[in-house]
Amino acid sequence: MRDADHTRRVVITGLGILSPIGNDPASVWASLTEMKSGLGRITHWDPTAYSPYVVAGEIRNFDPAAWLDPKSIRRTGPEIHWGVAAAKQALKDSGLEITDANREEIGVVFGSGAGGQGLFIENQMAWKEKGPRSVAPTFIAHGLVDSTSGMIAIETGALGHNMAVVSACATGTHALGEAAEAIKRGDVTAVISGSTENPLIEVAHIGFMNMRGLGAPRDGEGPASASRPFDADRAGFVLGEGAGAFIVEDLEHAKARGATIYAEVVGYGSSADAHDMIQPVEGGAGAARSIKWALQRGKIDPSEIDMINPHGTSTPVGDAREALAFHSALGARAAQIPISATKSLTGHLMGAAGAVEAIFTALSLHHQTIPGTLNTRNVDPECNLTVTLETRQAPLRAAISNNIGLGGHNGAVVLRHWTGK
């Protein structure tokens, strides 16, 4: 552990991802740039009774045996399988080796919105149907929100600063921001950061449906049309599952080992609405604060922001209030900044959304390309935003990844294109 130095610079040197549009960064980037949807009819259980809310973003062709031993697979849920896989992907991508000499300098900051709720439901059902002896003695340890951060440490041998962040749909954003802060204050040299979520559980789907938060495909169109961020006829979000992971590293350490740098983490803001457990506060004031604070901490002027990956869930109220937050935080510039609303392709990955979308943002900066937004045909004039409808190349200096969570949690990170300086 070193002395705190808040001038220390932090960069992203490795990426890992499991998502409805791909199970590694390369395939994900191809899907993003080709605007290839990952939405389809739910297959985990029969959704017919919940028509027209039958669409989700599911992970396909994933084999946990490639990442975990059989005993660990049996004891843990999909959210841990995906989180560990994403973390190991990111480590390999970064070229960072964890050894006896450096393992105390490597941390883990990895979160989830709900953790292993599936394990709790399964064991509750086993108890009711078969009695107490059918309850797994290990399910509590593996079903907590911090279980993935613990498993990542076990699987990688990272002994440094370790914590789980939980702030609903802002979890992944906060995990990345807190990882950067841990490096700046000298706790660690590098952090395995990110988030994971397994929300496609039938009772959760019913709960969101009864909340009247879910959206359905346009009449006469297929599942891919269900998520329509900032569109005038948007109707609600679509659940998705996945995990995203970063290797976040001290810049000097990364340069010394010749690491590839995807982007620099220059600003981070976190705030509360203190208003309502479901609806964002009027005017988007809470989200505006976190964006303003992220810009201030990064010493970034709104004129330098060339892209925003928004929360953009496709709910009528949520998108409108997030748009107001952009206008409040960024002033007149907000109406011109290209918006890349990627939930149109993946659905809403809940606690994993912030990590996955920050990966999209880092890749956009790295490739100097803005992924297009699917399904947004008529941008709501009340939002007054420039939603990018087709993928295009563009000179990108800095970008914001923004997320908003149930309970009034807001998180924003500002990433900057790495130019070698």
What is the residue-wise DSSP string for 165-193? --BTBTHHHHHHHHHHHHHHTTS-SEEEE
- Domains 10-256 and 266-416 agree in fold: yes
**Residue 52: phi, psi to the nearest 5?**
-90, 10
At the fourth CATH level, the homologous superfamily of domain 266-416 is Thiolase/Chalcone synthase (3.40.47.10)
Cα–Cα distance, 108 to 214 (Å, whole number): 33
Q: pTM here?
A: 0.97
Cα–Cα distance, 20 to 37 (Å, whole number): 8
Strand bridging mode 392-393 / 162-163: unpaired
Active-site residue, 348 included? yes
Distance from the Cα of residue 136 to its chain's centroid: 30
pLDDT of residue 6: 63
What is the overall mean pLDDT for the chain? 97
Report residue 164 as tokens. 């789980």
Angle between helices 353-367 and 171-184 (to 10 degrees): 70
pLDDT of residue 69: 97
Q: Find the helix or strand (DSSP H, E) in which 94 lies.
A: helix 78-94
Among 270, 272, 268, 118, which Cα is nearest to 201's? 118
Q: Are 54 and 238 in contact (CB under 8 A)?
A: no
Q: Span 10-256: which CATH code?
A: 3.40.47.10
Q: Which residue has the tokens 């989180």?
A: 83
Residue extents of the structural domains in the chain = 10-256, 266-416
- Alpha-carbon distances of 270 from 50, 84, 198, 361, 415, rounded to whole Å: 36, 26, 24, 18, 15
pLDDT of residue 350: 98
Instruction: Say whether the peptide bond before residue 78 is cis (omega within 30 degrees of 0).
Output: no
User: Among the options 142, 253, 311, 366, which is catalytic?
Assistant: 311
Q: Are 309 and 361 in contact (CB under 8 A)?
A: yes
pLDDT of residue 7: 81
pLDDT of residue 4: 53
Q: Are 192 and 152 in contact (CB under 8 A)?
A: yes
User: Among the options 348, 366, 409, 417, which is catalytic?
Assistant: 348
Q: Are 195 and 142 in contact (CB under 8 A)?
A: no
User: Among the options 81, 161, 169, 327, which is catalytic?
Assistant: 169
Q: Low-confidence residues of the chain, pLDDT below 50? A: 1
Report residue 373 as tokens. 């937004």
**Residue 92: phi, psi to the nearest 5?**
-65, -45
pLDDT of residue 202: 97
Q: Find the helix or strand (DSSP H, E) in which 73 lies.
A: helix 70-75
Q: What is the pLDDT of residues 326-374, one digit of tens each?
A: 999 999 999 999 999 999 999 999 999 999 999 999 999 999 999 999 9
Cα–Cα distance, 114 to 178 (Å, whole number): 19
Q: Are 128 and 148 in contact (CB under 8 A)?
A: no
Cα–Cα distance, 177 to 401 (Å, whole number): 11
Q: What is the pLDDT of residues 15-61, one digit of tens each?
A: 999 999 999 999 999 999 999 999 999 999 999 999 999 999 999 99
